[in-house]
Amino acid sequence: MASQFWAAALLCVCFSFHHAAHCNTLSNLHYGPDKAQVLDVYLPSTAQTKRPVVFMVHGGAWRIGDKTNHSVVKTKVRRWVAQGWVFISVNYRLLPAADPYTQAGDVAKALEYAQAHSAEWNADASKFILMGHSSGAHLVSLLATDKSLSDKLQLSPILGSVWLDSAALDVNLIMQQAHPRFYDKAFGTSPDYWQKVSALGHLNKDVKPIALICSTQRDDSCPQAQSLAAKAEQLGILATLIPADLSHHQINATLGDNNSYTHQVETFMRGLDPALSAFLKPAK
C-alpha cells in the first residue's frame, strides 16, 4: 500500500483554478483491482495537519461520468482545498459491468482506502464528509444508511453526508409508478432489489446527519428528499432539507461559488464538528 502511494506521488502535478491557490493532485490511486476502482486526492499547499476531508462521488445515471469532470471538482476544490480541506473524487465500476448496489460497495471500499491513507495526506480519518451528486448521491445515500455495506470493512465513522439532488431515495416507490426508462436499466424488475437500493428503507437511528439538496426545478427530487427527511426526523436523525432554485447541473457545478446555496451547505458542514470552523469561511 505504501509503495503504491509513493509511486503515485511521483506523478503528482500542480494545478490551479482561476483565483485559487495551488494544490497537489494525486491521480488514479487504486483502491481495488479493477481499472475503474481509482480515486484522485487534491491536497492543499498549506501546512495544516488533521485536515478534514470531502469525499465526492460523481453522478451519471449509474452508467457514465468521471471523477475529473469540472462540474464535480472545479468549484469545490477552488473553495475548500484553498481553505485546507483534502478533496477526494472517486470513480467506480459502472453499468453494465456493475449494478448500483455493487457500485455502492465500490464507494465503500474507496472510503476504507482513503481513511486508511489519510495520515499520509495530513488528513483526519475521523473528519470525513461524504458527498455525491445525482446517481452519486444515491450511492452515498446507501453507504450512509445501509450497515451491511460497511460491516466487513475497517471504517471510521463519518461526520455526515451531503446528497446533491438525488431523486432515487425510495426506489421501491419509483419503480411502481411511471418513471424514466433509464431506471429500468439500473434497477431491473425485482421488488426485493428495489428495496435493497432504497436509502429510505435503510434509515436507522445510527445514521449520521444528512443534508438533502433538491432542485425545485424538477418534479421528483424534492418530494423524495422531503419523504426521507420526514422519516429521518421520526428516527431522531438530523436531516437538513435545502431546496434550491437551481437546475440539476447547477446544483453540482455551482457548489463552491460564493452564493447563498454554498453558504447553506457550509452551515450544515460547520455544525458537524466545531473543528471544521477553522476550515470554512466565517458564516454570514
Find out whether 237 and 273 touch, Cβ atoms under 8 Å.
Answer: no
| Arithmetic mean of pLDDT, 168-179 | 97
Return the pLDDT at 10: 34
Among candidate residues 173, 48, 192, 72, the one with its CA nearest the CA of residue 121: 48
CB contact set of 124 (below 8 Å; sequence gap of 6+): 50, 51, 52, 53, 118
Find out whether 45 and 24 touch, Cβ atoms under 8 Å.
Answer: yes
- Grid coordinates representing 30 are 487504486
Give the β-pairing of 51-57 and 38-44: unpaired
Return the pLDDT at 83: 95
Nearest-5° Cα angle at 132, 86 to 283: 60
Query: Residue 100 pLDDT > 60, yes or no?
Result: yes
Query: Residue 149 pLDDT > 60, yes or no?
Result: yes
pLDDT digits (tens, 9 = 90+) for 108-127: 999 999 999 999 999 999 99
CB contact set of 222 (below 8 Å; sequence gap of 6+): 214, 215, 216, 243
User: Percentage of the chain surpassing pLDDT 90?
Assistant: 89
Alpha carbon distance 97, 102 (integer Å): 9
Q: What mean pLDDT is reported for the chain? A: 92
Classify 2-271 by CATH class: alpha beta
At residue 166 the predicted structure's pLDDT band, cuts being 50, 70 and 90, is very high
pLDDT digits (tens, 9 = 90+) for 2-46: 434 333 433 333 344 433 444 699 999 999 999 999 999 999 998
Alpha carbon distance 94, 100 (integer Å): 8
Return the pLDDT at 284: 63
Convert the chain into a string of H (helix), E (strand) and C (coil): CHHHHHHHHCCCEEECCCCCCCEEEEEEEECCCCCCCEEEEEEECCCCCCEEEEEEECCCCCCCCCCCCHHHHHHHHHHHHHHCCEEEEECCCCCCCCCHHHHHHHHHHHHHHHHHHHHHHCEEEEEEEEEEECHHHHHHHHHHHCHHHCCCCCCCCCCEEEEECCCCCCHHHHHCCCCCCHHHHHHCCCHHHHHHCCHHHHCCCCCCCEEEEEECCCCCHHHHHHHHHHHHHHHCCCEEEEEECCCHHHHHHCECECCHHHHHHHHHHHCCCHHHHHHCCCCC
Return the pLDDT at 23: 63
Alpha carbon distance 268, 27 (integer Å): 29
174 phi, psi to nearest 5 deg: -55, -45
Provide the 10 A C-beta neighbour count for residue 137. Answer: 33
At residue 139 the predicted structure's pLDDT band, cuts being 50, 70 and 90, is very high
- Grid coordinates representing 76 are 469545490
pLDDT digits (tens, 9 = 90+) for 207-235: 999 999 999 999 999 999 999 999 999 99
pLDDT digits (tens, 9 = 90+) for 39-84: 999 999 987 899 999 999 999 999 999 999 999 999 999 999 999 9
